[in-house]
Copies of this chain bind each other. A is one copy, B any other.
Amino acid sequence: MDFSSKKIKLTNKKKVAVVGGGLVGGLNACFLAKRGFEVTVFESREDIRCAKTIKGKSINLALSHRGRQALKHVGMEDKIVSNGIPMHARMIHSVNGKCSPIPYGRKGQYILSVGRANLNKELLTAAEAYPNTQLNFNHKLLDWNPETGTMTFLGPDGTEKDFQADLIVGCDGAFSATRKQFLRRSRFDYSQTYIPHGYLELTMPPRNGDFAMKPNFLHIWPRNTFMMIALPNMDKTFTCTLFMPFEEFEKITTGDELMAHFQKYFQDSIPLFGVDVLKRDFFQLPAQAMVSVKCSPHHLNEKCILMGDAAHAVVPFYGQGMNAGFEDCLVFDEILDQFNEDLSAVLPEYSRVRVPDDHAICDLAMYNYIEMRAHVNSRYFLFRKYLDNVLHFFMPRTIIPLYTMVTFTRTRYHEAVIRWKWQNKVITQGLLLLGTMSAAGATYLLVKYIPQKSTGSVEQLWNKLLTLKWFQK
């Protein structure tokens, strides 16, 4: 097979193979093509733009600052943003159907609900528009040689073909075929951890031609051991994702069991789905597993680099999977500039810089896996979210909520974690001090201004305070 059918004008430019034509592969092709490299993309599935049904994962995407900055660099931010729906706050649905919003950041700060399929199509079309880019679909990577950069693919006609690249960019997802060669090397650290929860998607149809719920929110039904979320789509539907331990999923085998479960935990959503839709969607597919992948280093020799899920699959609870992958492309681009495209320097530097950040976002996503379904039910957590935002308002440079650093800035992930721990220490100590002083002050005032004989009332007052619902949570 002839990969050079499209004639490239550039000479002496590096030949780069991008493995994977998903979101990160598509964007990376744009970055590398913009730089003038000779880019060839190999995707194992068919062209998503021609596909009748789209297989694979579809957990909704929340585009935020890091992803937008990367898109901006290849001139695609506006187009993608115009096809997204701003979400300014979480909308918490309590068991009794009460809804309370928790803003994501300051006024005007929001994340964007974007459709994976459309975004993927746009990226592939943009990559293909560069004359020095060629896309190959139905090409499955079988193996590659870390010394020579020779790759072997199984093509659409069922025969094996070789391709030679100066640089291989592995963007082929959590179960990366590119990564297999890394695993054969000594001193490559690797971990894959499945969480006990599975997920399942349900579609909430429009209601009287409009969104069934307020659209500019990420709706959350936190239920401690499990949770449901809903993100708005451009067609006025919501994609709802139910996260539950696999054992819980296994317990629900009939329509009646399903309805009983929803009656108990997600009652307000039933009329919005409609019983028929709910039963149809729930039993359509089995619950899917979620995996967290970490590895180090991200490069092999001067030949190969891993990005996106191939380097750091995260659980989907911080809305940073795509954003981290897009930022990978941007960071790599920055380092290419810094080292004048000398791959022997660029690749180790990328691992040095990016590994701690990618590990940090894996850990943060795992942390939020607990926070999202459990902590948002705690009054102290809500108070702390509120306090963090207030402190941020008055001291915007000193106290920055973790979520803000992760979502609305390009603060390096691992630095955000360090800063967050420091802030927590300061705020907790401040609260303790304030609490102690208030208690002392209150006691002083009570003792001073209440007649001596009614000393008992001080105790009564404290007891009354302590029985308040707030303290019991």
Contacts and interface: CB of A to CB of B under 8 A. Distances in A.
A339 interface: no
A186 interface: yes
Contact of A189 (B186, B189, B192): B192
Contact of A188 (B188, B190, B194): B194
Given A189-B194, A191-B191, 13 more contacts: A186-B194, A186-B289, A187-B194, A187-B289, A188-B192, A188-B194, A189-B192, A189-B193, A190-B190, A190-B191, A190-B192, A191-B192, A191-B193
Interface residues of A, number: 10
Interface in A166-213: 186-194
A289 B190 CA distance: 15
Contacts of A191: 190-193
A193 B187 CA distance: 8
Contacts of A186: 194, 289
A252 to B, nearest CB: 19
Contacts of A188: 192, 194
A174 to B, nearest CB: 11
Contacts of A190: 190-192
Interface string A268-292: 0000000000000000000001000
Contacts of A194: 186-189
A467 to B, nearest CB: 33
A417 to B, nearest CB: 20
Interface string A20-44: 0000000000000000000000000
Nearest to A184: B175
A192 to B, nearest CB: 5
A57 to B, nearest CB: 13
A191 to B, nearest CB: 4
A186 B194 CA distance: 8
A65 to B, nearest CB: 31
A160 B153 CA distance: 24
Contacts of A192: 188-191
A190 B295 CA distance: 12
A412 B456 CA distance: 55
